[in-house]
Amino acid sequence: MTTIKGPGEAHSYDGSNLRIGIVHARWNTKIIDALLSGAKQSLKAAGVKDENIVLQSVPGSYELPFAVQRMYSASQVQSSSSSAGGALLASATDLLSSSSQTDLTKSTGSIKGKTSTAPFDAIIAVGALIKGETMHFEYISDSVSQALMRIQLDSGCPVIFGLLTLVTEEQGLARAGLTSGGHNHGLDWGKAAVEMGIKRRGWT
Ligand code: DLZ
């Protein structure tokens, strides 16, 4: 059956000058890993350079807003100055990555050795919250969604909402493209990051 859902046709945007951050939670890793692959695939398809895709991880979705905020502000500091800013960025990103348990956090675009020091043009926040028996899911879904929106409006850096709020695991597998007929939403998030990164610089 065809569906009307989806982001619709968009222009093809050139991401070759963009610097994109991705922060992901590690809970529900199977879903997260597939979403990250999808996001990176569409970023690269739009021309974003490998070294300008900066990946960091946090334990769970609740930590995403803090990480997005720190990542963006550290990139601003680094871009506007010098070694002092660089040191702050390095320490902020070290803090974010020190608890990493996946190789993914080290696989792409390490901040150290990067070719660009520009502030991020967009940051994708990726998490998968699966509803349990308590009210935990509702509280985290709501607070993280609100916080990510606040961060993008306060900072002016587009934050792409890559938080799946799932009633079942199966819903997550389908939205990570891991079931037949499923669709990897990470692909859409990568495209959204490129489009919003370009549009943030000026509506054309
Ligand atoms: C504790 C928790 C639970 C129960 N479920 C999830 C989940 O489905 N997805 C997710 O990303 N994180 C989960 N967490 C972890 C919280 O997001 C958070 O990391 C901890 O409460 C520590 O602040």
pLDDT truncated to tens, each residue of the chain (204 aa)? 567 778 787 788 999 999 999 999 999 999 999 999 999 999 999 999 999 999 999 999 999 999 999 999 999 988 876 445 445 555 555 555 543 333 333 333 333 444 567 899 999 999 999 999 999 999 999 999 999 999 999 999 999 999 999 999 999 999 999 999 999 999 999 999 999 999 998 865
- From 24, 27, 145, the mutation candidate for ligand 1 (largest count of ligand atoms within 8 A of CB) is 27
How do 20-25 and 159-166 pair as beta strands?
unpaired
CB distance 73 to 63 below 8 Å: no
The hierarchical CATH code for the domain 20-200 is 3.40.50.960
Nearest CA to ligand 1 atom 23: 62
Ligand 1 pocket, residues with Cβ under 6 angstroms = 25, 27-28, 59-63, 127-130, 132, 136, 140
Nearest CA to ligand 1 atom 13: 60
Compute CA distances 42 → 39, 79, 104, whole Å. Answer: 5, 26, 17
Query: Please, how many CA atoms are within 13 Å of residue 66, restricted to the half-sphere of its CB?
Result: 12
Q: Give this complex's ipTM.
A: 0.99
Report d(CA 78, CA 136) in Å as an integer: 36
- Active-site residue, 136 included: yes
pTM here?
0.85
Q: What are the residue ranges spanned by the domains of the chain?
A: 20-200
Report d(CA 29, CA 47) in Å as an integer: 27
Element (DSSP H or E) covering residue 164? strand 159-166
